[in-house]
Amino acid sequence: MTREYLGSVKLGSVASMTKKGRWVFLERHHEIAVSSVDAEGVIYCSPVWYTIIDQRIFLPIDQASKHFQNVEGGSKLTGAVFAGGEELCTARGVQIQGQGRLVTDPALRERCMEQLVEKVFGFGHPHRQTYIEYRESFDKMTLELVADKMITWDLRKTYNLPMYTSRRL
């Protein structure tokens, strides 16, 4: 397949998720790659767990975190949640571009932690209590990733395009 064959069709017009689909996708996962920029312009990226409450994205983060420092310095945040198999035709994900906002409501912070612990560790996980104690002892900071823009892709929708099934990630 060539550019001439595809014409002006953009991948986003045939392989993006619906609004409902993006939130369902985000709710099914719990790991996000978050990027922020420091005062010198250096990009910092790290994997962080997250939770969704009422279509709002919350990141448990401590005050020593580079992301926290960057947000305090005015940096925007970008997060990417990605899933897929080896074949490019099964790749799907959501990129969230936005602002990091510190959660100041203690009840909301507690709800975020409880929901995250339940999602990540479930019942009876050997590290569940250790994580709870860590968060209680050291830091209970939580950032909300307030989305300015979301970019989605679901290449499973393009399964009939042979060029995507032949490529591997």
Q: φ, ψ for residue 43 (rounded to 5)?
A: -80, 130
Length of the chain: 169
Q: Single out the residue of 169, 32, 30, 11 nearest to residue 96, CA to CA.
A: 32
Query: Does the pLDDT of residue 161 top 80, yes or no?
Result: no
Neighbours of 37 (CB within 10 A): 16
Residue 62 confidence class, pLDDT cut points 50, 70, 90 = confident
Cα–Cα distances in angstroms (integers) from residue 47 to residues 2, 80, 92, 107, 108, in the given order: 36, 9, 17, 25, 22
Mean model confidence pLDDT for the chain: 85
Query: Does the pLDDT of residue 43 top 90, yes or no?
Result: yes
Superfamily of domain 17-152: Electron Transport, Fmn-binding Protein; Chain A (2.30.110.10)
What's the rounded Cα separation, in Å, for the pair 34 and 16? 21
Query: Does the pLDDT of residue 1 top 60, yes or no?
Result: no
Mean pLDDT (whole number) for 21-50 = 95
pTM as predicted: 0.82
Residue 167 confidence class, pLDDT cut points 50, 70, 90 = low
Cα–Cα distances in angstroms (integers) from residue 27 to residues 57, 119, 122, 164, in the given order: 9, 10, 15, 26
For 68-99, write each residue's pLDDT tens digit.
899 999 999 999 999 986 777 788 899 999 99
Mean pLDDT (whole number) for 149-168 = 71
Angle formed at CA 3 by CA 94 and CA 9, multiple of 5 degrees: 50
Q: Considering only 13-17, 49-53, 86-90, 164-168, which range has the smallest mean pLDDT? A: 164-168
Q: Look-up: residue for tokens 């892709």?
A: 153
Query: Does the pLDDT of residue 162 top 80, yes or no?
Result: no
